[in-house]
C-alpha cells in the first residue's frame, strides 16, 4: 500500500510540475509574441524603405528583397534585364515599363497602409504581390 501511495504522490507531483511548466511556457510564449509584435508591428522604417525603393527602383525589385521576397524580387529583376536586352527589338521597352509600373504601384500601396496593416499583410502573412 505504501508503494502505491508513493507512486500516486510521485505521479501527482509530476502532473503538477508538468502543469506549472506548461503555464510558464505559455506565459513566456505570450511575452515573446507581444515583444515581436511591438518590434515588427511598429517598424515603419521597413515600410518606408520598401515604399520609397518601390517607387524609385521598382523595376529592379529591390523593395521585394528588402521585405524578404527573394523569388519575387528575382522575377522583377530578371524581367527588367530581359527587357533591357530586348529594347533594341522594341518589346523590351514595354517589359521595363510594366515592371516599373508594378514597383510604383507597390511602393504607393506600401506607403498608404498603416504600420499594423503593413505588418499583418506583408510581414506576418507574407503576401508577395500588391
Residues 52 and 103 in one domain: yes
pTM of the full structure: 0.62
In angstroms, rounded to a whole number, what is the distance separating the alpha carbons of residues 130 and 108? Answer: 10
CA separation, residue 18 to residues 8, 10, 28, 130 (Å) = 15, 12, 15, 46
Residues 30 and 90 in one domain: no
Residues 24 and 52 in one domain: no
Query: CA geometry: angle at 10 spanning 8 and 16, to 5°?
Result: 100
pLDDT digits (tens, 9 = 90+) for 32-62: 556 655 555 444 568 899 999 999 999 999 9
Residues 52 and 111 in one domain: yes
In angstroms, rounded to a whole number, what is the distance separating the alpha carbons of residues 60 and 38? Answer: 31
Task: Answer yes or no: is 129 within a domain.
Answer: no
Task: Answer yes or no: is 120 within a domain.
Answer: yes
What are 52's three cell numbers?
A: 520609397
Residues 72 and 19 in one domain: no
pLDDT digits (tens, 9 = 90+) for 62-84: 999 999 899 999 999 999 999 99
Q: How many domains does the chain have?
A: 2
Chain centroid to CA 48: how far?
Answer: 15
Q: Residue 94 is part of which domain span?
A: 44-124
Amino acid at each position: 500500500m505504501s508503494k502505491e501511495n508513493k507512486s500516486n504522490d510521485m505521479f501527482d507531483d509530476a502532473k503538477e510540475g508538468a502543469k506549472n511548466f506548461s503555464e510558464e511556457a505559455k506565459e513566456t510564449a505570450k511575452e515573446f509574441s507581444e515583444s515581436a509584435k511591438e518590434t515588427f508591428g511598429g517598424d515603419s522604417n521597413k515600410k518606408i524603405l520598401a515604399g520609397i525603393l518601390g517607387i524609385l527602383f521598382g523595376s529592379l525589385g529591390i523593395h521585394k528583397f528588402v521585405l524578404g521576397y527573394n523569388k519575387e524580387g528575382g522575377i522583377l529583376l530578371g524581367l527588367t534585364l530581359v527587357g533591357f536586352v530586348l529594347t533594341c527589338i522594341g518589346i523590351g521597352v514595354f517589359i521595363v515599363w510594366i515592371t516599373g509600373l508594378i514597383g510604383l504601384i507597390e511602393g504607393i500601396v506600401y506607403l498608404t497602409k498603416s504600420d499594423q496593416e503593413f505588418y499583418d499583410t506583408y510581414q506576418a502573412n507574407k503576401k508577395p504581390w500588391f
